[in-house]
């Protein structure tokens, strides 16, 4: 079966070489390249594409986070596993926001390293509880905020609100729903009352932010 192809970006020569031998010395893994910085990043990765990139977060020149952004933009299929010497939550979090699939501490055992690489390759995202929590919190706050407060909007009102969000004027909405301008206005008044707003912009804002539309 095919080996998991791994590239290493790490400025510390000793660690870089250790990882190289570790990976090539493990059944089912092969190292496609080691690099001490991110110059020619895309070129190198395209010439000899890995499945997984092991990326140091602290590096001279282009740092690991920038590198992740570039990789995910140019070669989105490649999974990036960040590695860092210490638990720098902020940087790790940023790396994950940039598209990294997981991260690992450099103090991890060789077996743990291989485990994490395999996990990433197989679609997992190894990360610590504290990083996971930060991701979760942002996640729960921004995605899920199915803040489904129920404003008791009628179907017609929702329909009108949708048109409004699309940027239509009252006149255009009237046209779209085959009703008179005044009807739309009446509906809008009712929407304003229900949403506790008093302008079209506020209504649009609330509709989008609370996912009423």
Would you tell me which residues interact with a copy of itself (CB under 8 A)? 96-97, 99, 101-102, 119-120, 123-130, 132-133, 135-136, 138-140, 142-144, 164-167, 169, 197, 199-202, 204-206, 208-209
150 in contact with DNA (CB under 7 A): no
Site for DNA in 61-80 (CB under 7 A): none
Structure tokens at 94: 């940023």
Are β-strands 4-9 and 52-56 bridged in parallel, bridged antiparallel, or unpaired? parallel
Of 84-92, 105-113, 115-123, 175-183: span binding DNA (CB under 7 A): 175-183
Of residues 39 and 208, the one with the C-beta less far from a copy of itself: 208
R_g of the chain, CA atoms, integer Å: 25
166 in contact with DNA (CB under 7 A): no
186 in contact with DNA (CB under 7 A): yes
Query: If residue 67 lies in a helix (H) or strand (E), which one and from where to where?
Result: helix 64-74
Q: Which residues contact 140 (CB under 8 A, 6 or more apart)?
A: none
Q: How far is the CB of 126 from a copy of itself (least distance, A)?
A: 5
Q: Which residues contact 206 (CB under 8 A, 6 or more apart)?
A: 195, 197, 212
DSSP state of 169: -
């Amino acid at each position: 079966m095919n080996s998991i192809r791994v590239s290493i970006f790490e400025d510390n020569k000793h660690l870089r070489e250790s990882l190289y031998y570790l990976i090539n010395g493990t059944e089912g893994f092969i190292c496609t390249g080691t690099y001490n910085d991110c110059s020619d990043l895309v070129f190198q990765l395209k010439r000899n594409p890995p499945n997984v990139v092991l990326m140091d977060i602290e590096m001279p020149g282009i740092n690991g986070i920038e590198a992740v952004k570039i990789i995910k933009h140019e070669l989105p299929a490649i999974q990036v596993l960040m590695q860092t010497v210490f638990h720098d939550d902020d940087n790790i979090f940023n790396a994950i926001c940039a598209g990294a699939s997981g991260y690992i501490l450099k103090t991890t055992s060789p077996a743990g390293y291989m485990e994490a690489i395999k996990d990433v390759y197989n679609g997992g995202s190894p990360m610590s509880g504290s990083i996971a929590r930060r991701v979760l919190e942002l996640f729960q706050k921004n995605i899920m905020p199915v803040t489904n407060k129920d404003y008791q909007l009628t179907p017609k009102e929702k329909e009108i609100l949708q048109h409004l969000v699309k940027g239509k004027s009252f006149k255009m909405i009237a046209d779209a729903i085959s009703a008179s301008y005044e009807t739309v206005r009446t509906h809008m008044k009712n929407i304003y009352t229900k949403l506790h707003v008093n302008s079209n912009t506020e209504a649009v804002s609330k509709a989008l932010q609370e996912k009423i539309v």
